[in-house]
A and B are shown apart, each in its own frame.
Chain A
Amino acid sequence: MAELMVDARSVRKRYGSNEVLKGISLTVTQGEVLCIIGPSGSGKSTFLRCLNHLESINGGRIYVNSELMGYREVGSVLHEMKPSEIARQRMSIGMVFQRFNLFPHLTALQNIIEAPIGVAGMNQDDARNLGLDLLKQVGLSDKADLYPFMLSGGQQQRVAIARALAMKPKLMLFDEPTSALDPELVGDVLDVMKSLAKAGMTMIVVTHEMGFAREVADQVVFIDNGQIVEMGTPKQVLDNPQEERTKAFLNKVL
């Protein structure tokens, strides 16, 4: 059996007295694609951000690649990790954001090679070659020296994917990667994600693209109100939902 990449055990997250994650448990094995769907405010993005410890959790455990995220467990006592240790953990988890979050003062290529050079210690030439390869992979070879504002939303998002891939992550997190895009630009980004999935990348994708989920996902999770309502293959969850809430949601979006 394939190795566990993500093991989330009853993850809870509160903002003040507002509990946004009420015990989420799921596992993702290596090479698997998990799509998380659900209404806005359901906690799906928050859960994704907990996975690389952009948000700390209030309860439960998250293991990525068999490592407990954000804490060291000594006996039964949890110790907060130092920022440098958390940074090291994040190096193997790529993340793509809804609003791209490219660095506006750097060109497309510079965006991609900043972390490999500055964080992973790669030399300039290797990083440059890697960056150009990745740009080719996302179909933007001719945009290397353009600044983000000169690119369309779809192009920016593909650069952002290349930037995350440059750190050679074992896991990729996508937080509604096509929600901020014009409809005709969505396809290019989804194509890049599909080819990534085919190449065997482990991916967790928060998305409203049901077509993508149906085609690419190994597992689909429907989250509502901070809880997993239904989980299974795309066929089970999207085509034959058992829960009323899932049915109601799918009726609205499909």
Chain B
Amino acid sequence: MAVAPQPQTDNSDDVVAVPLRHPWRWVFGIIVTVLLAAFIWALVSADSIQHDIVFRFLFDSRILIGMLVTLGITVLCMFIATVLATLLAIMKLSPNPLLRWISTGFIEFFRGTPLLLQIVFWGYLGIIFPNIVLGIPYTDVIFQSWPTSQVIPALLAGVIALSLNEAAYSAEIVRAGILAVDSGQVEAAKSLGMSGGYTMRRIILPQAMRVIIPPLGNEFIGMLKNTSLLQVIAVTELYTVASKISSANLAQIELLVVSGFWYLVMTTVLGFPQRALERKYGKGFVAAAGGKLLKVSRL
């Protein structure tokens, strides 16, 4: 934007005042610091935690591979879940009652039952349905049949369970994002001859992303930790690996510290791509583009 040259401003009559002091902020700050220090000291000095074991296993190759598996499952599941969630959200907003009904039913079902139960269900699918059969239903005609446990190994079962569950939650996030876009946008798009699908892809979703990304970041972190539930179907992710090691060497607490540390590292690091995405989709919106609109007051 072209800005006209500003004349030198005269600051001589600016308000000069002693800034408001906030003594209670100092008091609470000291209390919190003392409590935190005490807690950390308790952890460090506890005899029950053998720190050398923690450090020995912190960079153990099995732990590091488990961490990569966790990260891989998380990224894959979130990807599948987000795509599925977008479809479900669009279906739920569709004028077609059948699509609406299917979407609502899916969301209700997968939100309404415990995740752990769903993981066990997919993991034990081979026991419920020993074979996956391609044929004509209600007849004896069978083209092909495969044993379920081979088609769906534990890892795949885990990915399916986490993806479907997450899709149900994320669908509502995506739907909220779509509803947050001003209805005038759809009218403008229609008046230009854009089809419904084109409008959704190029006009609505890019604007909805701005609203969707922060809560989806939350879901991402939730997913990362929920992968630990896959221990019950013996997927070799971080927590499973750690608990396997600890059941051999009986250093349960130490390995909890090890896996906890790595979960914390991963969730912290994942904040960076989220902020990058927020900037990308915040373009064209005042608050995101300006960045620091909130004034930070001093202690």
Contacts and interface: CB of A to CB of B under 8 A. Distances in A.
Contacts of A115: 192-194
B247 interface: no
Nearest to A151: B1
Given A99-B184, A101-B188, A104-B207, A150 B193 contact: no
Interface in A138-175: 142, 146-150, 160, 163-164, 167, 173
B162 to A, nearest CB: 31
Contacts of B188: 95, 97, 101-103, 160, 163
Contacts of B206: 105
Interface in A32-91: 52, 54, 83-84, 87-88, 90-91
Given A52-B191, A119-B193, A147-B283, 17 more contacts: A52-B190, A54-B187, A83-B195, A90-B191, A90-B192, A91-B192, A93-B191, A94-B191, A97-B187, A103-B207, A105-B206, A114-B202, A115-B193, A115-B194, A118-B202, A119-B198, A149-B284
Interface string B172-199: 0000000000101101101111111010
Contact of A91 (B193, B210, B284): B193
Which one of B187, B192, B206 has the greatest number of beta carbons of chain A within 10 Å?
A: B192
A106 interface: yes
Interface string B206-230: 1100100000000000000000000
B193 A167 contact: yes
Contact of A87 (B1, B185, B190, B202): B190
A149 B286 contact: yes
B2 interface: yes
A161 B197 CA distance: 24
Contacts of A54: 187, 190-191
B281 interface: yes
B interface, over-half SS: helix
B279 to A, nearest CB: 13
26 contacts: A83-B196, A84-B195, A87-B193, A87-B194, A91-B193, A94-B191, A95-B187, A95-B188, A99-B184, A101-B188, A103-B185, A103-B188, A104-B207, A105-B285, A107-B284, A114-B203, A115-B192, A118-B194, A118-B202, A119-B195, A146-B1, A147-B283, A147-B289, A148-B284, A164-B191, A167-B192
Contact count band on A: 35 or more
Nearest to B209: A105
Interface residues of B, number: 26
A94 B190 CA distance: 10
Contact of B194 (A52, A119, A142, A149): A119
Contact of A150 (B1, B184, B202): B1
A129 B206 CA distance: 25
Contacts of B193: 87-88, 90-91, 115, 119-120, 167
A202 to B, nearest CB: 16
Interface string B237-276: 0000000000000000000000000000000000000000
B184 A101 contact: yes
Contacts of B191: 52, 54, 90, 93-95, 164, 173
A104 B194 contact: no
